[in-house]
Chains A and B, each alone.
Chain A
Amino acid sequence: MTLPEATGLLLAFVARLITGAQGHWQGSPPKAEQRIYFANHQSHFDWVLIWAALPRDLRAATRPIAARDYWTATPFKRWLTSEVFNAVYVSRQRAQDEDPLEPLAETLRHGDSLVIFPEGTRSSKGVPQPFKAGLYHLAEQFPDVTLIPTWIDNVQRVMPKGEVVPVPILCSVTFGAPVALQPGEDKAAFLERARAAVLALRRGG
């Protein structure tokens, strides 16, 4: 076992110890097919939680997205994101002629799965903000990739914005039934439908 693999297992173990990281598969079994998991975003811990909730053999082919300027700033951050999590880097400052989705499209052409947070930023209100258009463009370009709505529950209590030490509180990750882009569906309608699919996984609400 290499050091990045061992670190990954250790992180998954810590995530499970602290949050339980229970994965509930409702309407889509854990399967080795190409997928985009799109989830609500409340904390830096979200990605680790989804990753820990996935079965071990799916983790290697499921990649997160990391902001290049932040996550390559120090050798450790770069090592963590590139070696352990195999993250896809995107630039936050957009150059004129560059498609910001290009690194994601490149990954999907490669056959890997992605985890994205279509709100674009962390929200602390409990209800996800409107989704950014990226999800729609990816769905349009890659009709064969399954889109799985994902709801992460309780994680904002584990690590609120601005804190570094997580508090042990049980969280769950619920994976829902696939959402597909209908032929001729409007961008805004699709994004709203996707958001509703995520929100519908919130239990008792």
Chain B
Amino acid sequence: MGALRRLTVEQQVGLLFVTLFGLLALVTIVAVLRALRDDTDAEAAAARRAILHDLRAVWVGAVLFWIAWASGAFVATLLFALVSFIALREFITLTHTRRGDHRSLIAAFFVVLPVQYVLAGSRSFNLFSVFIPVYAFAALPILGALGNDPTRFLERTAKIQWGTMVCVYGMSHAPALLLLDFPRHEGRGAFLVLFLVLVVAAAQVAQHAAGKRLRALPAARQISRSFTWQAWGLGALAGGFVGLLLYWATPFKAGQALFMGFAASGAGTLGELVMNALKRDAGVRHWGGRPTVTGAVGLLDRVAPLCFAAPVFFHSVRWYFGV
């Protein structure tokens, strides 16, 4: 680990990407070979197809992160802003807004979202942290009230605010991490984003696998049949463990990396549960890849854990290290 710590940031991140893509390639080859095998068990075949589908999403995500890292902070911020836009579009599609919400929706999409990413890009982190929870949350209901429609006003306002919070505020912390400067660790931001994504992904995979094996009682049966506290704990622990494995490239000490990984991935997988609740509320059973009525293809599903983990991670780091 000592040798790894002495590498430059570029070398470290490069090494990580090579490892990541290598592992992905390996997993993909195995999955494709297994999918080729002639099988009479329809259920297993369907499960394999689902794995291939998820793998494709992981590939797209990994390539996106690689582009974001290789092309610098500006392009990365723009890329995350676009993902944020698409996620919010999906969120708003699934909630039932009314005509009177038109102006607040326009404000959320075309004012709040760009301003938040400009603040992230210009490293104005103090205003960045309060812009949505304070200013946007005051402005959106005002616009809603001016929409002159009292029907389910609180509910509609809450939905728009909450969508903005998750899809814009949460997501914008990923590029903010990229731009966060640690004393004596310049340029490590890119690594922090990668750290975050990897621990959250590890936690999701571990939680999924544990949920299948353990067959414990679901914590909230109406929302998700697969979410159990045991699986969640194992997932978060796996996230912490991956964080520990990666500590050599972070500004953290080993224990701190473990804790940061645990906290971020725990928040992320709980975020997934919240998205499940939202899905049920909107009457959507399956998002992943299957086009629904309006063609919501499930990007929100995939980014939700990140949207929950990123702010927790970002603010913990800022608070703890005083940067």
Which residues of A sit under 8 angstroms from B159, Cβ to Cβ? Answer: none
Q: Which of A155-185 contact B (CB under 8 A)?
A: 157, 160, 163, 165, 167-172
- Shortest distance from the beta carbon of B108 to any chain A beta carbon, whole Å: 9
B93 touches A169 (CB 8 A): yes
Complex contacts, B88 vs chain A, CB 8 Å? 168
Write the chain A residue with the least CB distance to B99. A160
Partner of A168, one of B85, B99, B296: B85
- Known pairs A20-B89, A154-B93, A170-B295; list 8 more (Cβ under 8 Å): A153-B293, A167-B109, A168-B109, A169-B92, A170-B294, A172-B291, A203-B293, A204-B293
Does residue B224 face the partner (Cβ distance < 8 Å to A)? no
A-B contact pairs, 7 of them (CB 8 A): A18-B89, A153-B294, A160-B102, A168-B92, A169-B93, A171-B294, A172-B293
B-facing residues in A14-50 (Cβ within 8 Å): 18, 20, 22, 24
Distance of A15 from chain B, by nearest CB (Å): 13
Against A, the Cβ 8 Å flags (1 = close, 0 = not) of B174-192 are 0000000000000000000
Interface residues of B in 74-111 (CB under 8 A from A): 85, 88-90, 92-93, 97, 99, 102, 105-106, 109-110
Chain A nearest CB from B299 CB (Å) reads 11
A168 to B84 CA separation, bound complex (whole angstroms)? 12
Alpha-carbon distance A154/B295, docked complex (angstroms): 11
Assess the B102–A20 pair: CB atoms within 8 A.
no
C-beta contact mask, A102-129 vs B, less than 8 Å → 1, else 0? 0000000000000000000000000000
Could you tell me the distance between the alpha carbons of A142 and B280 in the complex, rounded to whole angstroms?
A: 48
Do the beta carbons of A172 and B294 come within 8 Å of each other? yes
Select the residue from A154, A168, A171 with max chain B CB neighbours within 10 A: A168
Q: Which of A22, A153, A167 contacts B102 (CB 8 A)?
A: A167
- Measured CB to CB, the closest approach of chain B to A53, in angstroms, equals 10
Identity of the chain B residue whose Cβ is nearest the Cβ of A174 in the assembled complex: B293
List, in ascending order, chain B residues with CB within 8 A of A154's CB: 93, 293-294
Asked whether, in the complex, the Cβ of A170 is within 8 Å of the Cβ of B296, the reply is: yes
Q: Digit string of A194-205 for contact with B (CB within 8 Å is 1, else 0)? A: 000000000110
Expressed in whole angstroms, the Cα–Cα distance for A154 and B296 within the complex equals 12
Closest 8 CB pairs of A and B: A22-B295, A170-B294, A170-B93, A167-B105, A168-B89, A203-B293, A160-B99, A172-B295
- When chains A and B are docked, how far (Å) is the Cα of A168 from the Cα of B105? 8
Give which listed residue, B97, B109, B295, contacts A157 with CB less than 8 A: B97
Most chain B Cβ neighbours within 10 Å, of A20, A171, A203: A20
Which residues of chain B are within 8 angstroms of A22 by Cβ–Cβ distance? 291, 295
Smallest Cβ distance from B235 to chain A, in angstroms?
Answer: 30
Tell me which residues across on chain B come within 8 A of A163, comparing CB atoms: 102
Contacting residues, chain B, for A24 (C-beta < 8 A)? 291
CB-CB under 8 A from B109, the residues of chain A are: 167-168
- The reply to whether B102 and A169 contact each other, CB–CB distance below 8 Å, is no
Residues on A with C-beta less than 8 A from B89 are 18, 20, 168-170
- Measured between beta carbons, the chain A residues less than 8 angstroms from B105 are 167
Q: Which A-chain residue is minimally distant from B105 (CB atoms)?
A: A167
Q: In the complex, A22 Cα to B294 Cα: how many Å?
A: 8
Cα-based distance from A60 to B90 in the complex (angstroms): 30
Distance between B263 CB and nearest chain A CB, rounded to angstroms: 33
Contact B295 A165 (CB under 8 A): no
Min C-beta distance of A198 to chain B, whole Å: 16
Q: Considering the chains assembled together, what is the distance between the CA atoms of A170 and B296 in angstroms? A: 7
Min CB gap A40→B, angstroms: 15
Measured CB to CB, the closest approach of chain A to B101, in angstroms, equals 8
Instruction: Identify B110's interface contact among A157, A165, A172, A204, CB under 8 A.
Output: A165
Report the Cα distance A169→B93, complex, angstroms: 5
Measured in the bound complex, the distance between the Cα atoms of B85 and A172 in whole Å is: 18
Cα(A121)–Cα(B93), bound, Å = 25
| Chain B residues whose CB sits within 8 angstroms of the CB of A169 once the complex forms | 89, 92-93, 294
